[in-house]
Structure 1
Amino acid sequence: MSLFRHPIFLRLRTLLPGAPRRPRNPVLRSLLGVLGVTLLIGLVAVGLVVGLAMLLGGLVLRLLMRRDRNVRVRRQPLEGSYRVVGKPQLAR
Structure 2
Amino acid sequence: MSIFRNTLFNRVRFATFGAPRRPRHPFLRIALGLVGVALLLALLFVSVFVGIAMLAVGMLYRLMKQRRTPMAAHARSIDGDYRVVGKAQLPLAH
TM (norm. structure 1) is 0.61
Cα distance 1:72–1:24, how it changes in 2: closer, same or farther (>3 A)?
closer
RMSD: 2.7
Consecutive unaligned residues in structure 2, runs of 5 or more:
1-11, 80-94
Shift of 1:28: 0.3
Q: In terms of Rg, which structure is larger?
A: 2
* Structure 2 Cα separation of the partners of residues 74 and 66 of structure 1: 15
For residues 21-80 of structure 1, the C-alpha deviation after alignment (integer angstroms, 9 at most, x for no partner) is 211101100000000000000000110011000000000011010010121657796xxx
- Greater helix share, 1 or 2? 1
Cα distance 1:59–1:26, how it changes in 2: closer, same or farther (>3 A)?
same
Paired positions, count: 67
Runs of 4+ in 1 over 4 A off after TM superposition: 72-77
Which residue of structure 2 lines up, in the alignment, with residue 51 of structure 1?
51
